[in-house]
Chains A and B, each alone.
Chain A
Amino acid sequence: MAEYLIKNGFVFDPVQGINGDKKDIAIKDGKIVESVGASAKVIDAAGKTVMAGGVDIHAHVAGPKVNVGRNFRPEDKKQAIYEPGRGVRRMSGGFSVPTVFKTGYEYANMGYTTVMEAAMPPFYARHVHEEIRDTPIIDQGAYPVFGNNWFVLEYLKNGEAENTAAYISWLLRMTKGFAIKCVNPGGTEAWGWGLNCTSIHDPVPYFDITPAEIVKGLIEANEYLKLPHSMHVHSNNLGNPGNYETTLETLKLAEGISAKNDFGREQVLHHTHIQFHSYGGTTWGDFESRADKIADYVNSQKNITCDIGFVTLDETTTMTADGPFEHHLCELNHLKWANTDVELETGSGVVPYVYSPDIYVCGLQWAIGLEIALLAKDSMRFHMTTDHPNAGPFTRYPRVMKWLMSAKARDEMFAGMKNEDKVRDRTGLSTMDRELSLYEIAMMTRAGTAKALGLSHMYGSLTPGLCGDVAVYDYNPETASDPEAIEKAFGKAAFLFKQGELIINDGEIVSNGNKRTLWVNVKTNENPQVERDIALKFNKFYTVNQNNYEVAAHHYVPNPYVFEIDATV
């Protein structure tokens, strides 16, 4: 394999404490190394920014609901140029729900090399993996959803922690999943009857368990299993005025629990797209930001991480396993609504949405995301996401970086809003002059996310021994003054390496790499009761036989990277 030396770039690597120093980065045999021989190919990075490949902790990029979004929104293809194939590239199109090829290319263009699919319905796991397999370049994993799963609800109701863990380990193996995702705990099961759970104390119909018990039980199961990532929650009551209280109550469930794992992860709870959960007021009339309360609490709790879910003020496609929320949304905007309830496991919905800067609620949502990120005391625990495509497409990350790094760019956005005064009045953002540095951006986009995923031994830093995932951006931090240069440079990496292979050469994609699917194989004690329960449910209540449930590696996961964990006691 070719050796490379990336010379004289401004290097940002928070893990090693490198803050814009001019350094050379060497790559050999797929890894970052201390040095390479004289025959190494030299990449001249003088005047450019060098970082580890980006790691996205939460994006909806593959699977059934993403594909519903593609197929039921032909109009989305008109929002961006459909690009013909050329060289190693297939033709690629779509804006908020791009095709799998475009997903791979656009992440590469942003210097991202690892992306986690945020919600995998276990029953549809094959579909998720088929799309992941077809997505070029980036390493991916997928989080199966557990928060409304009948096995989990029943075991937790009965206080059977060991059985919960045994079942989770089985399901991760069956679906080739990476982490425990929990979406609107209990609420999506209630949606099976057209109902919802909007607080953490609302009992789930029939199962008679509360969201609080589900969240707490899943956190404990996660630590029992010593998984790389923590429990990953999308809490109840998303998107509603006044929901910050539900969010705080959910976060408090992690108090007193500490992380147990061999992957360097410190948090026990990751709260996703927390922007959507930081709202004050009681109606849309007195809607206001409660970013301060949420950021303060996360700042104070070392065992919690979050990603933001920045609203980018675009026309986009919302999609979530939070079925009742999507129904609620379509009642608000009266656009088309797709919904799929999944037997014994979960549900989901998809609704297009236009975040208009002319609507003050949308403007506030935009401001709240930025406010949280700028209130962060430790950017390692506040991550860059747009909850793609819910708050905006992932291709807007460079634009979000611009807003985070430039008060001027934020002021320009405020000035373009129809209800500027109202928006400024109801968020703390208008008085904030903090501008994040590239060092902090590197925390939010790779170092922090890699650590929270338990992948800091592979990604997120340029420490020798880690994967040779390196991005070079045409951005000179010493001379750049125009905020637009940030958006331009971080949307179009000049060079990109994935596992030591040159993927982007001088701005052009030259290889589809050798993408891997990450999944976790965790061994627990033999558990005849869980085995019996599984067999029983498949016999009676599933419409697929148990022997046809497992996602086979050969076709669906052709290039796996498996984390083997022993959680036997």
Chain B
Amino acid sequence: MANIVSDVICTFCGTLCDDLEIELSDDGKKIKEVYHACAIGAEKFLHSQAEDRITRPRMMQEDGTTKEVSYEEAAKYTAKILCDAKKPLMYGWSSTSCEAQSVGHEIAEAVGGMVDNTATVCHGSSLIAVQDVGIPSCTLGEAMNRADRVVFWGCNPAHAHPRHMSRYSVYPRGFFTGKGAKSRKVIVIDPRKTDTASLADAHLQLDQGRDYELLSALRVAFRGEKLPDFVAGIPKDQIYEAADLLKSGRFVIIYFGMGVTQSLGKNHNIDIAIAVTRDLNDYTKAAIMPMRGHYNVTGSGEVLGWQFGFPYCVDLSRGIARYNPGETSSNDLLVRDEVDAAFILGSDPGAHFPISSVKKIAQLPSVAIDPHLTPTTAVCKLHVPVAFVGVEVGGCCYRMDNVPIESRKVVDPPEGMLTDQEFLTMVLAEVRKCKGV
């Protein structure tokens, strides 16, 4: 009989599917097959089984080669660069568990770190908008059970969150949406003809960077006021039609992604998208939700919130928590040469930050804690490989709708490998020694 582990949580994206089944070898040590996951999720589980996986920390040498070091040495080095620094950047946190984040925050508090997560280049602008105008939202299941109007704005779940539409937003038969996709009208707003757009009842293919205008036009249309012939490249009739479609729904859900958060207008786009949602609540019921990327970027914001009071860009360097995105955000700190060490865990700025920032990381005393080899590990002085959260160790993760789910351990990590929580605990002990507390 096959050795199957069920109800496994997929720790890849913010969709955090929890229905995976994983087939193990008879001795329970190897993953053979992954069921129910999307292609990306399955690959994550299978990738952990790679024969050539790095299993010990490696220090970069002066000649550019790497040398294997022990976890003890790695912890000492990490603690030293953090303690020696006046203002270390401690970035990432989005691909790890809340337990590891908590230990990391203790380290950051002790060394006066600048704690920032991947929202800084993703949904940080959404977080700022929420601070301006709030956010009427709901859980994914609430939308599944009730929503008959679904809007995807600047996001492409067909590729970025592959099971989102089948599990939550478009296809499932919910309690009040018993006909599944037939119960719902889908509107996609995107300058590109994406695969998601190809499934939509209406695709508003707006001019790139003109989201604010179109959202504003929708608010005008809700009120039945006059519009110019075209807004953002969309004919006014189409806008009135879309407005009527939304107003006539019993429950509207708007999902939005990086197409609006990181294009021209940034947080102002989200401000007005939320205002659109508030407006709709005068006519029917409406909710809006950011399509969070990393599987636990949401959790990072939550843990930072209850421990320090801010969701990202948290400056602990003055002994108290400060928050000022633009000043305390990673890229601003890096390009202004304000940080003197880089500690990166659970994310890959080497692949996602501007090259000017990556060059700065390469010049700093730096450590990357990550199961994979990434562009970041290639530029950091020390790479500490750790067990995969959700594959080789469990831990709490927050879904894109802030729902906490405890990920499971499926197999043991390669012998002698530490989890990030274990490694951080060692670093914390070293930091305490160094600081004499």
Contact = CB atoms under 8 A, between A and B. Distances in A.
Interface string B131-167: 1111111111110111000000000000000000001
Interface string B297-317: 000011101111111000010
A84 B145 CA distance: 46
Given A85-B109, A90-B109, A340 B309 contact: no
A528 to B, nearest CB: 22
Interface stretch (B183-191, B318-326, B371-379): B318-326
Given A340-B402, A543-B144, A71 B136 contact: no
B58 interface: no
Contacts of B323: 74, 77
Contacts of B197: none
Contact of B175 (A67, A74, A541, A548): A541
A541 B278 contact: no
B19 interface: yes
A205 B250 CA distance: 13
B417 to A, nearest CB: 21
B167 to A, nearest CB: 7
Contacts of B305: 67, 70-71
A126 B9 contact: no
A439 interface: no
Grouping DSSP codes into helix (H, G, I), strand (E, B) and loop, the A interface class, with mixed when no group exceeds half, is mixed
B186 to A, nearest CB: 19
Contacts of B412: none
Given A71-B127, A82-B321, A93-B320, A77 B139 contact: no
A338 B146 CA distance: 19
Q: Size band of the B side of the interface?
A: 35 or more
Given A545-B19, A548-B18, A124 B306 contact: no
Contacts of B136: 327, 337-339
B409 to A, nearest CB: 12
A330 interface: yes
Contacts of B303: 130
A336 B130 CA distance: 8
Nearest to A552: B406
B69 interface: no
Contacts of B308: 91, 93, 99
Contacts, number: 181
B134 A130 contact: no
B250 A344 contact: no
A336 B109 CA distance: 31
Contacts of A84: 319-320
Contact of B135 (A134, A339, A341): A339
Contacts of B134: 72, 330, 335-339, 350-351
Interface in B153-206: 167-168, 173-176
A157 interface: no
A339 B274 CA distance: 11
B285 A193 contact: yes
B285 A192 contact: yes
A382 interface: no
Contacts of B319: 84-85, 91
Specify which of B168, B321, B323 lies most central, judged by the most chain A CB atoms within 10 Å of its CB.
B321
A338 B137 contact: yes
A131 B308 CA distance: 12
B137 A340 contact: yes
B404 interface: yes
Contacts of A336: 130-134
A83 interface: yes
Interface string A103-116: 00000000000000
B99 interface: yes
A82 B320 contact: yes
A232 B303 CA distance: 29
Interface in A76-109: 76-77, 82-85, 90-91, 93-94, 97-101
Interface string B388-409: 0000000010100111111000
A543 B278 contact: no
A64 interface: yes
A123 B7 contact: no
A226 interface: no
Nearest to A342: B139
A542 interface: yes
Interface of B: 6-7, 9, 18-19, 98-99, 102, 109, 127, 130-142, 144-146, 167-168, 173-176, 250-251, 278, 281, 284-285, 287, 301-303, 305-311, 316, 319-321, 323, 396, 398, 401-406
Return the 8 tightest CB-CB contacts between A and B, nearest first.
A343-B141, A336-B134, A543-B141, A126-B404, A194-B285, A84-B319, A341-B138, A339-B136
Interface of A: 62, 64, 66-67, 70-74, 76-77, 82-85, 90-91, 93-94, 97-101, 123-124, 126-127, 130-131, 134, 191-194, 206, 327, 330, 335-344, 347, 350-351, 540-545, 547-548, 552, 555-556
Given A134-B102, A343-B141, 4 more contacts: A70-B310, A99-B307, A337-B136, A339-B134
12 contacts: A74-B309, A77-B309, A77-B323, A85-B109, A93-B308, A99-B308, A336-B130, A341-B137, A341-B138, A541-B141, A547-B6, A555-B396
